[in-house]
Each structure stands twice: as C-alpha cells, then as structure tokens.
Chains A and B, each alone.
Chain A
C-alpha cells in the first residue's frame, strides 16, 4: 500500500512538472527570459513550418534571431521589433519596441546590456542617441544590414 502511494505521488509530481508551463516569456531559441533582456526582439512568423506554427515569438538577442532565421528554412518572417535601450528603465519588461530595420546598433562598446548574449550590443531608435552612448562607452554604430552581417551564427 505504501509503495503504491509513493508511485502515485511520483507520477503526479512528474505530470505536474510536465504540465506547468514557465511563467515568463521565453526566447524561442535559448529559453532565457526575453522580457528580462534589454535587447529583446519580437518576430512575427507569417508562414509556419513543421516544427513551428505561425505567430509571434520573442528572442533575448540578435544572435538567437539569426540562428532562428537559419533554422526556419521554409518559414516566412513578417515584422521584426526590437527594444530601444534608451527607454529601458529599472523595471521588468520595460522599454519601447521599435522597428528593427530602422534602429541603430552600438557594438563592441564597454557597456553590457542585461539579460542578453554575445555579441553584446545596445540598440537605439535614433543615431543621435547611439552617438552619445558611443562617446561614453566606445564601440561602433551599425545599421540593420551591417549588424546582420556582423552577427555570425
């Protein structure tokens, strides 16, 4: 009787862990909390694949997004939004989401954004703000096409 109780308890415990989904918005590539990341990307997948249905997916950094594009193969991506570093405040999931293609990327600077992964970069909506950060932390400002080439998988 005792053994049966232990087995039933174990099964319930495993099922509980299986069915309980993580409470945060995960980066679809690496599983990190995308909302926590100061370089969060949001992608609209307009055509899904066998492995991934269409919908909106979040990423912790550009590196994960680049890998995702490589993995997606037949799928199609619509809009890509990214978090403006200049609007991030000391609060969970803060900062405006802007069009990634129109943003400016400060790479190789000395400031590491929180919750992100290599290559570290700061993302801004205007070149002027990126320039101010460049003066303080150093680095190089790139546009969308350049930063995609810069971010190697």
Chain B
C-alpha cells in the first residue's frame, strides 16, 4: 500500500462520507414510505423532525463527496512518483485496476446525482408544501448505496495498490491497433467536428429553453414540464456529447496541445495543459447542470410550482449555458492560436 498526505486525507473524508451514506441508505427508504405532508398525526411530526436532520447531514455529505472529486484526482496524481513506470494517471490506474477505473468513472457520473439532489433540496425548501420531498426521499437509498459502493471501491483501490512496475499511457493508447481502441488512437479531426456540431445544437437548445423558461414565468405553462420523454431524449444526447468531448481530446486535441504528434492521452493533456483541464471541467459542469435542469422540470409535480421556481430554473439554465459556452470559448481560443 502507498501512503502519503493526500491518501490519508482522502481516506478520512471517505470514512466521513461512508457514515453519511449509511445514514441515508438506512433512513431514506423508511421515511419515503411513511411520508405524508397532509397527515396531522404525532408520528408525521416526529418523522419530519428526523427527516430534516437527515437531510441536513446528507447535504453536507453530498457536498463533501463533490469536493472529494478533485481531491481524488489530485491524490492519484500524488501517487505517480511512487509507482515505477507511471508518468500520468493511466499508470496509477493500471497499478490498481479494475477498482481504479470503476472508481474514476463513478467520479464523473455520481456528481450529477449529488448535484441533482442538492439542487432539488434547495428548490424544495423554497416552497411550504415541499413538492419534491418524496423525490428527495426516494433518491436517498440508491444514493446512500452508491456512496457506500464508491467508498468501498476507493478504499479497496488504495489498500490494494502496491508500488509495482507498470506500463503507462504510451502502451495503452499510442500503439497502432485494429480493435476498438483504434478509435482513441487515431489522429483525426472527425470527433472534434462532431463535438463542435453537437455543442452548438445543445447551446442553441439551452438558449431556447432559457427564453421559454422566462416566458413560462408569466403564463405558468411549458410544454416540457412534467414530460418524462424529454429527459429520455435529452440525457442520451448530453451523454453522447460528453463522450465525443473525451474522444476529441484523446484523438486530436491531446497531440495538438501537447505538441507531441503521436501521443494520445487525455490524462497527460489535463495534467500539463491547464486550460484544457479548465475547459473540460467547465463543459462537464455545464452539461451536468443542463441534465439536472431537465431532471427537475420533468418531474411530475413541477408544473404546479413553476411560477415560484421559474426564476431559479432560469438561473440554473444561465449557469449551464455560461459554463458550456465558456469551456467552448477557452478550447476554441487555444485551437485557433495553434492553427
């Protein structure tokens, strides 16, 4: 096992969040079953007090998990020096595979869920009837289980990673192949074009929904409110856009930005070129907020509370558009300067 300051800090934070995850998993389901805001009985009053306490603890827990994401990648980076042969995060991942790869993938997926829950909680507290309480409680158990799973994976990775010799990104990405990995080892502009085309579509959509959301504050109506089909249509597009961003970084942007014509590694890119990391994070945050927006407005009881929450939802969309557009601008400036 490798030990350093970052690993110890991460393990302490993991234990704290595990404690919160256990609380969520145990209490969430029971509270969801018994919750009835119209019930005047003593039992409901006691349940409310308990639920508010759990929600406060969990808000801190989810916030902690969000803050632990950059810490996770920083911790992995701090391990490079202890693993012979590793020069970027690929080497560290290889030393602790498969836990490392699963853990890092979860770090990209789960923040959307944590963010969704935190924003839902923020919106719910603005209305006396608490229309999203059931949704919040329903999400607690799966989120609690995911926190436990994530913590177990993280801890397993740290405890099972010896300082052994590994091969790094050049072995994984830079060999001419004939299999599926060829997609990420080819130097082609194709994925950059697809990424830009899709980004423009998503940005146009954001602007459309921003205008429509503003208008809905007056009329109280929106065709997409409460429609689950919208989220089922939007989510795959957003996920595909994010995938194209990763492949575009891997195939063309990393050799170009690193000034290494044959080196395709998104980890080396984000490690060495700070604005690439910045635009990656901005686009990821922008797309996540867009997904969260749809997750909220597509819930069945949003329609009734739109007039109260419209301003907040507009702000959410504005942040989403600013983040995505900002990331695109940073990327474009760098690309134009190089070409």
Contacts and interface: CB of A to CB of B under 8 A. Distances in A.
B97 to A, nearest CB: 15
Contacts of A19: 337
A147 interface: no
B70 interface: no
Given A18-B338, A19-B337, A30 B169 contact: yes
B85 interface: yes
Contacts of B259: 21-22, 26
A112 B84 contact: yes
B91 to A, nearest CB: 9
A22 B268 CA distance: 14
Interface residues of B, number: 30
A18 B337 CA distance: 7
B80 to A, nearest CB: 11
Contacts of B333: 11, 14-15, 18
A18 B165 CA distance: 33
Contacts of B169: 30
Interface string B244-281: 00000000000000111111000010001111000000
Contacts of A153: 171, 175
Contacts of B268: 30-31
A28 B84 contact: no
A30 B263 contact: yes
B170 A67 contact: yes
Interface in B191-215: none
Contact of A68 (B167, B187, B262, B330): B262
Most buried by A among B165, B171, B262, B273: B262
A63 interface: yes
Given A52-B262, A71-B176, A120-B165, 6 more contacts: A13-B275, A26-B259, A29-B263, A70-B176, A71-B174, A118-B84
Interface of A: 10-11, 13-15, 17-19, 21-22, 26, 28-32, 51-52, 63-64, 67-68, 70-71, 112, 117-118, 120, 153
28 contacts: A13-B275, A14-B330, A15-B337, A17-B274, A18-B334, A19-B337, A21-B259, A28-B260, A28-B261, A29-B260, A29-B263, A30-B87, A30-B174, A31-B87, A31-B258, A32-B87, A51-B262, A52-B261, A52-B262, A64-B170, A67-B170, A67-B262, A70-B175, A71-B176, A71-B262, A117-B87, A117-B168, A120-B165
